[in-house]
Structure 1
Amino acid sequence: MNIFGLFGPSNPELQFTRLYFKKLKKKIQGLALVSLKELEIKTKFKGNDLTHYLNNAYAEYVREKYDKNEIIDRYIRAALTLYQPKPEYSHDRIVPNIRDRRYLEELRRIRQNKEIEYVYEEYNDELYIFYAQDTEHSISYLVKDNIEEYSIETAGLKERAIKNLLNILPNIESQGENGYFMLTAGGNYEASLILVESIWTPENFNIKGEIVIGVPARDLVLITGSEDKEGLERLKSTVFEVNQTGNHLVSDKLYIYQNGKFAIFGQ
């Protein structure tokens, strides 16, 4: 039976989702489809229910105009780890991931306000630190059961995760000029660099005033000065644009560095 015949008229998001499942099913023998709708696939494999959210993959396809097969194949390579035996756990691979209030609210919506199982903590009024294990091909968020399962010490977890992050990352570089800069560190953990206090010193950035940043996506940290009107306008514009058209989004706010920590700018 053609399972896709069960669905109504096609649209770009649904076509993308169908192609994703078609490719995924070829990779996973015995994979069963539970439901499929625009940018969401629910599957069953060896008694386990799994959900694939394709929002980031589709947003990348729309924004970058790459071949959809190339993008889908890349995301499937990462998704395959969901169907494989759990990777060997390592305390040295726990890393911090930065997400915002929108992400937390979406988790609550999906779980219908049930308890969120992920291990996370509040960073400021808008941002949260979610802890994960970095593997070769993917990032696997820690859940509360992992705390006991892997004997994870919660005291000092943030400090250890930051140390692990710095050991995992390639060179951290600052690019830019004229009071406007960008951090680069491999493409997956730039947003997490807001936690590394040694980066955020006046000596590292030639700016006017205090450090103000935008972290619109996980791979994008932009920096300017609190007294740089042109830089602030450029920063606001870029953060807005990325949040409208980008993928792997983090935040739509600006933040100022004060007293060893970032707070929402303009409040």
Structure 2
Amino acid sequence: MRAWILALCCFAFPALAAPPAAPTLAQFEQRFVEQLKKTQPNWKVVQKSPGELEVAPPGQSPQLVYLDNAHRQALQNPADTEAVIARHIAALQGTRATDTAQPIDLARVVPIVKDRAWAEGVARTVTQRGGKAPKPLFQEPLNDALTVHYAEDAPERLRYLTEADLAAWTTRPEALRVLALANLRRVLSDVEVRRGNGLAMVTAGGNFEASLLLLDTLWTEAQIGLPEPWVVAVPARDLLLVTSLSTPAMVERLRGIAQKAHRESAYALTPELFVRREGKWVALGR
């Protein structure tokens, strides 16, 4: 999806293209499901949305499986795709019954930006399919459209923290934000601002672009290269676009890009635009 946006913004960065042999998310998911059904033919597997499966071993409640991390590893080394799938299936088999009992690795907890309806939708889907209602996920409001969740970003899974997970660790929710942001800064080694024609695209490897909204150290005129106040679009988890409020024509152009990207993304967040005011991202009125 980022390819057409780069072209629309008149950027020319061929290095962003994935290696030709790398599987798309749909291809990776299909191969993952085929292999899982071969190794566990009695498991019920439902493909819910791109990169999201609902898996239920016999006699057990269904659980959601996200293929984001696995697919990212396959993109980094396409020749290793089958081995990546095998490792993740083995991890799924080994943790399905005890996952919630395993302690959280706090060194891997990072903030994940989601739309407001995401957590409720996950819980509703599980119960509609006959599963036990999941424990409430811990979340913080970012603004009227977006929330901040926290997840343990392990190689074989992405485990979202529940309110119970937080209570078992600390009575101060703000401590989780500090910890997670420090972890995010540590794992992000490839943040780059790409500019062209009054727009900027901030890239971070494809998984944490929306989370960059939380990094105050990024948001300076020296780094963004556009005058304040900034208007941003996060139509998808892997897409962060910026322009300046001082250029109304570019703001409207950004709005159109955001709406199109939101419709077409496998990881859609919101088509809304936000402006940074006193360190916070607030909705931009039309």
Q: How does 1:1-267 map to 2 (within 5 A)?
A: 21-28=33-40, 31-33=42-44, 36=46, 42-45=54-57, 47-52=59-64, 81-85=91-95, 86=99, 89-107=104-122, 109-110=124-125, 117-148=136-167, 154-266=173-285
AA matched with 2:38: K
Separation in structure 1 between the aligned mates of residue 145 and residue 218 of structure 2, nearest angstrom: 21
Relative distance call for 1:37 and 1:179 in structure 2 (3 A) is closer
Structure 2 counterpart SS, 1:224: strand
> CA RMSD for the aligned pairs?
3.6
8 Å Cα contact 1:17/1:54 also seen in 2: no
Q: CA deviation at 1:25?
A: 1.4
AA matched with 1:101: R
Q: CA deviation at 1:43?
A: 3.9
8 Å Cα contact 1:94/1:161 also seen in 2: yes
AA matched with 1:24: L
Question: What residue is the counterpart of 1:67 in the other structure?
Answer: none
Structure 2 counterpart SS, 1:193: helix
TM-score by length of 2: 0.69
Q: Which string of whole-angstrom CA distances, capped at 9 and with x for unpartnered residues, describes residues 8-27 of structure 1?
A: xxxxxxxx998764432124
Q: CA deviation at 1:132?
A: 0.4
Separation in structure 1 between the aligned mates of residue 109 and residue 257 of structure 2, nearest angstrom: 31
Q: Which string of whole-angstrom CA distances, capped at 9 and with x for unpartnered residues, describes residues 50-78 of structure 1?
A: 2457999xxx9xxxxxxxxx999978865
8 Å Cα contact 1:207/1:228 also seen in 2: no
8 Å Cα contact 2:66/2:157 also seen in 1: no
8 Å Cα contact 1:209/1:228 also seen in 2: no
Give the length in aligned residue pairs.
238
Q: CA deviation at 1:118?
A: 1.0
Separation in structure 2 between the aligned mates of residue 166 and residue 172 of structure 1, nearest angstrom: 10
Structure 2 counterpart SS, 1:48: coil
TM-score by length of 1: 0.73
Q: Which string of whole-angstrom CA distances, capped at 9 and with x for unpartnered residues, describes residues 26-66 of structure 1?
A: 244x6422x7587586543275322457999xxx9xxxxxx
Q: CA deviation at 1:248?
A: 1.3
Separation in structure 2 between the aligned mates of residue 192 and residue 143 of structure 1, nearest angstrom: 19
8 Å Cα contact 1:17/1:38 also seen in 2: no
8 Å Cα contact 1:101/1:127 also seen in 2: yes
